[in-house]
Amino acid sequence: MTTVVKPSTRERLLEAAATLTYRDGVGIGVEALCKAAGVSKRSLYQLFASKDELLAASLKERASAFVAELLPMTDDDRSPRERILYVFDQLEEQAGASDFQGCRYLAAQIELKDQSHPASQVAHRVKENLTAFFRAEAERGGASHPDLLARQLSLVFDGASARAGIGADKLTGLITPTVTPLLEAARMH
């Protein structure tokens, strides 16, 4: 006999927030969030101080999946250069999905504009962690200017993600030829 575990009210709200904000943006209303989650406004405000706190919690909840889908395993045998290219290969693969809307963390920061917003702060930390990954790999790979290279790679990542997310460009065959000259110029191995 299989027991089906019904998601908690909190889990349903987090899932609704993740789905709706990714599809429709962070301006989604409380009523729409509650309707999608099948909960009352009262339940939302019992669990979260505000819609802003729900958005922040939803982004934070998705962060580990974002990292797991994007970054290579810490104990793999790839070179630092290969580990960086792996991230861009993952982005290219994700961008090929029909429901790809770009990086949810970049989108939240752009839409919110307020850097003190709780969701913007979560998004900023996630994006900073990606830049830190690039920096660490650049250092391990002997890059001439690891901080500069990390910032350049973040710029390419965000630009590629945004362009693919709005349907302005396909990433297939574009990312590796864009990133490789940066790695070569920094003398990455």
Q: Read off the pLDDT of residues 102-121 as tens digits, 9 standing for 90 and up.
A: 999 999 999 998 999 999 99
Is the Cβ–Cβ distance between 179 and 159 less than 8 Å?
no
Cα distance between residue 118 and residue 116, in whole Å: 6
**What sign for the dihedral angle of Cα 76, 81, 84, 86?**
negative
With 80 as the cut, is the pLDDT of residue 4 above it?
Answer: no
Residues 6+ apart with CB under 8 A from 108: 21, 26, 55, 59, 119, 120, 122, 123
With 80 as the cut, is the pLDDT of residue 1 above it?
Answer: no
Q: Read off the pLDDT of residues 144-175 as tens digits, 9 standing for 90 and up.
A: 999 999 999 999 999 999 999 999 999 999 99
Query: CATH says 9-185 is which class?
Result: mainly alpha
Is the Cβ–Cβ distance between 165 and 103 less than 8 Å?
yes
Token pair for 124: 């900023």
The pTM of this model reads 0.91
